[in-house]
Structure 1
Amino acid sequence: MLVLEKLADTKTVPQGGYPQAERCRLSVGHPQALTTDPDIVAALSITGNFGFQPCSHGDFLGAILGTGIAREKLGDIILQGEKGAHVLIVPELADFVTSALDKVGNVLVTCKKIPLLALEYEPPRTKAFKTVEASLRVDAIASAGFKISRTKLADLISSGDVRVNWTTVTKSNTTIKTGDIISVSGKGRLKIGEINSTKKGKFAVELIRYL
């Protein structure tokens, strides 16, 4: 996404259905054409009697994929306890899944489309702290945010396990800015807050770690 935004007259919009979504789709277009968020994500509600037979994230994922759709067509699965789950999916497959999905584990279910505004999710727990770095390179900031060495982070970048705004990073010297989201596989997510220059020419960066 960072590369795309460097192109002239190009805007990118990641969408996952709700602010903390892990899996997102990316819209790319002219800034004047993307004045509102494109309708590229749909939401489903899966309900059933899960009080006596609780089902895990993997149970819901397996049941949905069992209908024959590909994993990349499916977004986040938000568990709702005994009520079931809310699921994000590409709009063109929403009707198919609502008609094809009738069971999760051993529980008979009802699946229906719901508005994105009806999604129920808990606000994430976060921890904010500051770091002072010589540069705004992704390896420096992520190393401080996730408390891992820059050497280890470089290895994670090489293996494709580091993303900025849901786009895989390939270079350690990628520059970050306020509002960026850094994700590291197995480590979680980090949001970049306010950035200020210090008197010594370094950068004081506010980091918000999702717990």
Structure 2
Amino acid sequence: MGYQRKVGKLTYKYEAPFIFYLVLIVSFSCSNEKEEKNFEERIIIEKIINEKIYGLSKSKMMKTEEFANIVVNENFDYSKIEKISDSIVSNREFYFSISDTLVNIDKRSNLYKTAMNQFVFVPIEDSNISKVLHIENLVIKSNLIRVKNKDQIDSNYFLGKFKFSRVIYEKGRRERALVFMFTEDTPFLFPVFLLEKHNNEWEIE
């Protein structure tokens, strides 16, 4: 069964199954696009965690008495100290806490305006609604442990409590992106990361 539409002297007949499949195709296409965007957003957040947050582990270790002893024992030989400290960091567990919400950034804030100007960035007018980050699906380094809080954890091994903004893509293409990061424990001088896609892989610039 279908319906008809008359245009001038011509009558077009549409079959119900055709309309159904058309709606189904459009819905499937939109769903795939949403899933792809969510996946890409997760990949970008993982990149920042595994590089920038994990990178704090070495600076944390450098403040310990253990590191001071290594410096003295190796007679301030920088190359040896670096190798030893890298080995220790890679085999030690570090902890961090992360919010399960990707927050919206106030476009009227000085931080937002400064980032747009500094990176010469024209953003896509995406949704301003905060969204859930499924942190259980994040793929992070095996010695980087996510915890709810830092209670009962040695402060020398706790990297901080972090919250990320939604990924902001550049207008006209999706090969540049900005992410804002907020933290209570480890202040960053400028908590904004610019990423660019090279050979289909996101890299922090």
> Same fold per TM (> 0.5)?
no
- Where on the TM-score scale, by shorter chain, does this alignment land: which range? under 0.3
Structure richer in strand, relative to its length: 1
Structure richer in helix, relative to its length: 2
Q: Which has the higher contact order (CA 8 A, sep 6+)?
A: 2
Structure index of larger Rg: 2
TM normalised by structure 2 equals: 0.23
TM normalised by structure 1 equals: 0.22
